[in-house]
Amino acid sequence: MYHRPRIIPCLTMIDRGLVKTVQFKKPRYIGDPINTIRIFNNKGVDEICILDIDATKKGYSPDFEFLQEIASEAFIPLSYGGGITTVQQIERLLYIGFEKVIINSAFISNPDLIREAVQLAGSQSIVVAIDVKKNLFGQQHCYCRSGSERINVVPLDLAKKAEAMGAGEILLTSINNEGMMSGYDLQLVNEISSAVSIPVIANGGASSIDDFYSVIKTAKAHAAAASSFFVFYGPHRAVLITTPSEEELIKIGVYHQ
Amino acid sequence: MIGIIEYGIGNIGSILNMFKKLGIEAMFVKHEDDIARCDKLMLPGVGSFDVAMTRLHSSGLVPSIMKHTIDNKKYLLGICLGMQMLGKSSEEGSMPGLGLIDMKTVKFIGKIPSNLKIPHMGWDLINIVNPDDSLVNDIIRQPRYYFAHSYYVENDKQNEILMTCEYGITFTVAVRHDNIIGFQFHPEKSHIFGMELLKIFAALK
C-alpha cells in the first residue's frame, strides 16, 4: 500500500522573523518567513507548521495580516499555532488559508475551546500541541506558554483528553530534544502514539532522515516534524534551507511506493 | 469567472490563492447577484456537516446555487465537506444535504482496521476509474492529493465515480454527475497536482 508519512518543516517565529531555538530557549534569527515558506513550497514539502512562540507569552493575537501573506505563498497544507484563544480567531485563520490551527496554552486554560472549535471547523482542522520536558529523574511533565509554565498533568493524560475533546491531531514536542539534533524521544512518541487513535506528529530532535525512519517505523509516529534539520547545514549550523529528496525517503523506507 | 461560495465555512483563501497563481479569474461570492456573474461555482467546506449546511442555508444562496446548477446546467464543484454536502445525507449530522448527487456520507470508524488512524490525513495516491471523462483524461502523471477527513461518500453509480482511494477500504474521492462534481481531497493544497486539476476544471466547457 502506498504510504507517505508527512515530513513537516516546523518553523518558529518571533516578531515576523524566523528563529531557531534550542530546548525552547536561545532564539537565533534565521531569516524572513515569507521567503522561507516560498522555498519550502517550491520544494514541495508535505506540509508546513508555523508557530509564533512569543504570541501567548506576550498576550498577542495571531498576526493575521502577516499570516495571510505567508499563506498566499503555500500551495501545500499549512498549520499555525501561537496566541489562539477564541473560535473567531480560528475561523479567521481558516479563512485566510490555513488548514489547521495548533492550540497549546488555551487547551490548558480553556479546554472547551477545543470542543467549540471542532464543532465549527471539524476535527481535522484542530491540532493540540503537547510540549513535554523530562526532569533529571526521568519524570515527564507537560508545559504551556512556550515551555515556560509547568502543568500538573502527564503527557498521556493530556493526549487522551485532547482526543476526547475532538482534536484531530497531536503535535508532540520533546523540549529536551528540541534543537539538539540528537534524535527524537522515541519512547515518548511511542507511548502517546500507541495510546490514541488520532495521528501524532513527532517533533524535536531530528538530525537526519534516519531519525524520520525511526520515529515513524519504531515509535509509530504518523508524521515527523523538524526544524534544525531543514534550516541548518553542516557542523557549524550554517543557515541553509534543505529538504530530503523523494528518492532518498523512498530508498530509506520512509515513503512506500 | 469562477465563484467560490463564501458562507462562513472553509479555507476559501487557499482556493482563491491557487487560482491567482494559475492566472484564472475567480472571486468570492456572497450575494445572489454574484452567482449570476459566474460560469462555474465552487462549494468549499471544512468542519461539521450540520454546521456547514445550516450556514449555507442561512446565507440565502441555496436557491441561486440550485438555479445555477439545475436550471442553467452550469458547473458546481464541491470540495471535501463541500463534496459531501452535494449528497443526500451524512452520518455526521441529521440535516439533509443538497441532494444534487445520489450519494450519502458515512464514517470511517468501524469500516477500516483499527490500526489505521482517523482522520485519513495526509497525501495519498488515487486511482482513476473513469479515464475517458474530460476531467481526468488530461492528467499526465500519477497524481497524489492531500486529504483530511473522517467521513467519506458512498455512491452506488459506477459511472459517476471518477477516482477512488484506498485506506483500509476502497472509497470514492471524485464524483461527477454531468455538471456537478465533487472532490474529497483538497486540490487547493495539493501543490502541482492540485493546480493541474483546477486548471482542467477551469477549462471545462
Which ipTM score applies to this complex? 0.91
Minimal C-alpha gap between A28 and chain B (Å): 30
Contact between B87 and B153 under an 8 Å Cβ cutoff? The reply is yes
Q: Which of residues 146-175 of A touch B (CB under 8 A)?
A: 168-169
Please check whether residue A42 touches B, CB under 8 A: no
CA-CA distance, B193 to B181, in Å (whole number)? 17
Mean pLDDT, to the nearest integer, of A62-74?
95
The answer to whether the Cβ–Cβ distance between A44 and B188 falls below 8 Å is no
A95 CB-near residues (< 8 Å, 6+ apart) = B11, B12, B13
Residue contact A124–B149, C-beta within 8 A: yes
Q: Let me know if A131 is a catalytic residue.
A: yes
Give the CA distances from residue A208 to residues A60, A179, A181, A252, B33, in Å, rounded to whole numbers and listed in that order: 34, 13, 8, 11, 55
Q: How far is B28 from chain A (nearest CA, A)?
A: 11
Kindly indicate the confidence band of residue A120, based on its pLDDT and cuts at 50, 70 and 90: confident
pLDDT tens digits along B98-149: 999 999 999 999 999 988 999 999 999 999 999 999 999 989 889 999 999 9
pLDDT for B148-199, tens place per residue? 999 999 999 999 999 999 999 999 999 999 999 999 999 999 999 999 999 9
CB-CB under 8 Å, B122 with A6: yes
Q: What is the mean pLDDT of residues B24-51?
A: 94
pLDDT for position B46:
83
| Pair type for strands A140-144 and A149-151 | antiparallel
From chain A, pick out residues whose CB is under 8 angstroms from the CB of B188: 75
Q: What is the pLDDT of residues A159-207, one digit of tens each?
A: 999 999 999 999 999 999 999 999 999 999 999 999 999 999 999 999 9
Q: How many CA atoms lie within 13 A of B142 on its CB side?
A: 8
Residues within 8 A of B (CB atoms), A 85-144 only: 91, 94-100, 118-125
Q: Quick one: pLDDT at residue A243?
A: 96
Work out the minimum CA distance from B71 to partner chain A, whole angstroms: 30
> So what's the pLDDT on residue A257?
77
Q: Tell whether pTM > 0.90.
A: yes
Determine the pLDDT at residue B140. Answer: 84
Task: Determine whether the interchain pair A71/B13 forms a contact, defined as Cβ–Cβ distance below 8 Å.
Answer: yes
Mean pLDDT of the region A23-28: 97
* Residue of B5, B12, B15, B17 to mutate, testing the A interface (most A Cβ within 10 Å of its Cβ): B17
Query: Residue A123: which of B17, B125, B150 has the nearest Cβ?
Result: B150
On whether any CB of chain B is under 8 Å from the CB of A76, the answer is yes
Q: Which residues of A touch B46 (CB under 8 A)?
A: 94, 99, 121-122, 124-125
**Cell numbers for B188:** 487547493
pLDDT recorded at residue B6: 94
Minimal Cα distance from A194: which residue of B?
A: B115
Yes or no: say if A72 and A107 are a contact pair by the CB < 8 Å rule. Answer: no
A44, A71, A119 member nearest B191 (Cβ): A44
B186 flagged as catalytic: yes
How large a percentage of chain A has pLDDT more than 70? 100
Q: Catalytic pick from B68, B80, B92, B196?
A: B80
Chain B CB within 8 Å of residue A82 CB: no
Asked if A148 and A177 count as a contact pair (C-beta separation under 8 A), the reply is no
Residue A1 pLDDT > 80, yes or no? no
Beta strands B151-154 and B144-149: pairing type? unpaired
- In this complex, which of A1, A94, A223 lies closest to B11 when CB atoms are compared? A94
Q: Do A198 and B117 touch (CB under 8 A)?
A: yes
CB count within 10 Å of CB A48 equals 24
Which chain B residues are Cβ-neighbours of A118 within 8 angstroms?
48
Catalytic entry in B6, B149, B186, B196: B186
pLDDT tier for residue A235 given thresholds of 50, 70 and 90 = confident
DSSP β-ladder status, B144-149 and A140-144: unpaired
Among candidate residues A131, A185, A210, A211, the one labeled active-site is: A131
**pLDDT, chain B, mean:** 95
Q: Beta strands A6-14 and A48-52: pairing type?
A: parallel
Instruction: State the average pLDDT over residues A232-241.
Output: 92
At residue B141, the pLDDT reads 85
